Chains A and B, each alone.
Chain A
């Protein structure tokens, strides 16, 4: 067998094996590798390279070594899923660097972190003052997780006690001028609806590069032709304005009429409508 065929066979074979192994070892490897997994990856790569290119070497020796480097990390991962103690050994535990706003110098020393390293990591999280930090922990993956003090956390609707409408994910319903049926069905809408909405905006589907519908069935589109401006969804703002106008009208009628009974009717209904507007405002404004 000529050498080049040998190399072709070995390369293709090891490529397939490598592909399968990395699939089985899981996605976790890439995103949050600890040192052990990192080294495993490198070693598996080197062994595969050896199998592919070293013609003097025995293929089966290579495969044997490869399976050891596959099976042990695989088993370790499996066991660490089952047992917490094992997981602590394999993946390590996080080290607390800042607790109650105070830096734990001993822990820094233990992880061989200098003050500069810590400051750099904090700056990475957009924190320039250690005093702003309530709690920080060095994860086993090497990333620093930081919890800023409450007053330094970004303002959320919960903090200011605002009611917000729940929002489901939007679905992409048009891509490259073509309708995607499945996302459309997920929103329980159909192509008829889509055509009507596009007609309302006075555009044809061929001109749509990307169209998304939110969970309230509002369509937003981006066109190929960027010179055409597309009106944004106006349904909800219009409805909100209508409701507010009606409320003001009712109040006006209540003031204008001299019939006591009618005044009463207008007044109660105006209050009722105000209550309804308060209820629905978060939904219509989003």
Chain B
């Protein structure tokens, strides 16, 4: 696996975690619980965006490994 695909797989894991947190936040009955899920979801979204930029950058650096 190239570094690019590793970063990509990490990115998609984060994406799935992000979505999962959204579902949990929606299902949670307790206000505090819901707030925590949402806070964490926001943090993950920020990380996700950073990582997405990274994926693009790596893709440009090593176009020969772009599958």
A168-B30 in contact given A256-B3, A262-B54, A280-B37 (Cβ < 8 Å)? yes
Chain A residue numbers with a CB within 8 Å of B30 are: 166-168, 215
CA distance A279 to B20 in the complex (A): 16
Q: Is A242 an interface residue (CB 8 A)?
A: yes
B-contacting residues, A231-256, CB 8 Å: 235-236, 238-239, 242-243, 245-246, 249-250, 253, 256
The answer to whether B6 and A253 touch across the interface, beta carbons within 8 angstroms, is yes
Count how many pairs of residues, one from A and one from B, have CB atoms less than 8 Å apart in the complex. 85
B64 to chain A, nearest CB (A): 18
Chain A residue numbers with a CB within 8 Å of B16 are: 242
A279-B57 in contact given A168-B30, A216-B24, A217-B27 (Cβ < 8 Å)? no
A-contacting residues, B1-36, CB 8 Å: 3, 6-7, 10, 13-14, 16-17, 20-21, 24, 27-30, 32-33, 36
With a 10 A CB-CB cut-off, give which of A188, A216, A217, A242 has the most chain B CB atoms: A216
A168-B29 in contact given A242-B16, A272-B46 (Cβ < 8 Å)? yes
The answer to whether B17 and A239 touch across the interface, beta carbons within 8 angstroms, is yes
A253 to chain B, nearest CB (A): 6
The answer to whether B13 and A246 touch across the interface, beta carbons within 8 angstroms, is yes
Q: Per-position contact with B for A250-268: 1 when CB-CB < 8 Å, else 0?
A: 1001001100001001100
Q: Per-position contact with B for A157-191: 1 when CB-CB < 8 Å, else 0?
A: 00000000111100000000000000000011100
Chain B residue numbers with a CB within 8 Å of A217 are: 24, 27-28
Q: Is A273 an interface residue (CB 8 A)?
A: yes
A280-B40 in contact given A215-B30, A239-B21, A273-B47 (Cβ < 8 Å)? yes
CA distance A245 to B46 in the complex (A): 17
Residue count of chain A within 8 Å CB distance of chain B: 34
Chain A residue numbers with a CB within 8 Å of B3 are: 253, 256-257
A136 to chain B, nearest CB (A): 36
B-contacting residues, A194-220, CB 8 Å: 215-217
A276-B40 in contact given A215-B29, A283-B33 (Cβ < 8 Å)? yes
Chain B residue numbers with a CB within 8 Å of A246 are: 10, 13-14, 17
Q: Is A275 an interface residue (CB 8 A)?
A: yes
The answer to whether A273 and B43 touch across the interface, beta carbons within 8 angstroms, is yes
CA distance A216 to B27 in the complex (A): 6
B9 to chain A, nearest CB (A): 8
Q: Is A269 an interface residue (CB 8 A)?
A: yes
Chain A residue numbers with a CB within 8 Å of B20 are: 235, 238-239, 242
Which of B17, B33, B36, B47 is the one whose CB lies under 8 Å from A215? B33
The answer to whether B13 and A215 touch across the interface, beta carbons within 8 angstroms, is no
